[in-house]
Amino acid sequence: MAKKVAFIQGNEAAAHGAIYAGCNFFAGYPITPSTEVAEVMSLELPKTGGKFIQMEDEIGAMAALIGASLGGAKVLTSTSGPGLSLKQENIGYACIAEVPCVIVNVMRGGPSTGMPTGPSQSDIMCAKWGTHGDHPAICLVPASVQELFEETVRAFSLAEKYRTPVMIMPDEIVAHMRERVVFPEPGEIEVINRTAPSVPPEQYKPYDTSFGDVPPLAAFGSGYKFHVTGLNKMQDGFPTTKAAIVQAEEERQVRKVEANKADIMKWEEYLIDDAEIVIVAYGSTSRSARYAVNAAREQGIKAGLFRPITFWPFPEERLLEISRKTKAFITPEMSLGQCNGVVKGCIEGNAPVYGIYHVDGEPVSPDEILNKMKEVK
């Protein structure tokens, strides 16, 4: 049978990816340029028996998401800029209480209302440090509509596997452009669900580390009863201030992601092997970068592209390795250097890292990247 093919928008692809992954609950609050995700979910979810709710604000949406996830649902919300700021309070709650959830954040110009319809890549640090305290962060940054579909499916698997929030952050260009998408057959992309408890209810503890760094999560209403709090907790879920337990639990929460980086990280290398100039770009900017790399090669410049698909955890080790034989890095981005700073932070000064920054609502053009390559060559 021929595969289903459609010409759809990025945001629609994210919604369909979520449904493919088995999402059965969505809570959100409308905001440009992410609203189409909510609209498609409101249309499609009830067809599958799933539920959609438009909450009173993004704080409430994030809260409802966590409540539903604890009830056993696979949950999605979508937002942008100001909405992401509001969600941060309860994103932190999901981190410490270890509740799987997926957040689509379409990056638009900021801070504050900024440029609601303009593309941006300036939420990348907010994805890591937006909520207070030490906590794990997983953030995926697809560059095409097909990839947005597939990465949304992966976002669910990562959230469920590691019991933690996962952000998927297309820039506005990826979210709003229309491309051909080939829908995978059911089963074609692996879908991982949270591990259910293997012990009877009397023995169950929601943070039982004898099962490893990611303890099984029971659902409320499934015969298990337990306590969940945003306070530092013990294995049985009840609050504690005992120094040794708090330290160990905080470290474990972060280690869930750090120790499993190899499983979570994903990136693409294009013409890197002999590259003297390496462009580090993601999302729609990586498309300009690829074009520029091809043009540079035609002109005899040994250029390559390093494209993170997982932004957090960042593929630091690999970039450090590449930096040992690279003359210069360039980070084109729709931000004033957030990605640039991350690259500088992992290459131990092995090469200069030049930036091309747009926060004017315009994408970085291939010409700008090519010119920069010529300038620094």
| Residue numbers at the binding site for another protein (CB under 8 A) | 25, 27, 43, 46-47, 49, 51, 53, 55-57, 59-61, 63-73, 75, 89-90, 93, 201, 219-231, 238-239
Q: CB 75 → another protein: shortest distance, Å?
A: 8
Q: CB 127 → another protein: shortest distance, Å?
A: 20
Nearer to another protein, 117 or 229 (CB): 229
Long-range contacts of 190-199 (CB under 8 A, 24+ apart): 190/157, 191/20, 191/21, 191/22, 191/153, 191/156, 191/157, 192/156, 192/157, 192/158, 192/160, 192/161, 193/22, 193/74, 193/160, 194/100, 194/160, 194/161, 194/163, 197/224
Nearer to another protein, 163 or 287 (CB): 163
Q: CB 318 → another protein: shortest distance, Å?
A: 37
Residues contacting residue 32 through CB under 8 Å, at least 6 positions apart = 80, 108, 116, 117
Nearer to another protein, 59 or 346 (CB): 59
Enumerate the H helices of 265-315 as residue ranges.
283-298
Q: CB 323 → another protein: shortest distance, Å?
A: 41
Nearer to another protein, 49 or 186 (CB): 49
| DSSP H or E run through 269 | strand 267-270
DSSP class of residue 112 equals T
Q: CB 56 → another protein: shortest distance, Å?
A: 4
Nearer to another protein, 61 or 319 (CB): 61
Rounded CA-CA distance 121/284 in Å is: 9
Would you call the peptide bond into 116 cis, given omega within 30 degrees of 0 as the criterion? no
Q: CB 240 → another protein: shortest distance, Å?
A: 12
Rounded CA-CA distance 222/245 in Å is: 28
Nearer to another protein, 72 or 361 (CB): 72
Contact 279, 332 (CB under 8 A): yes
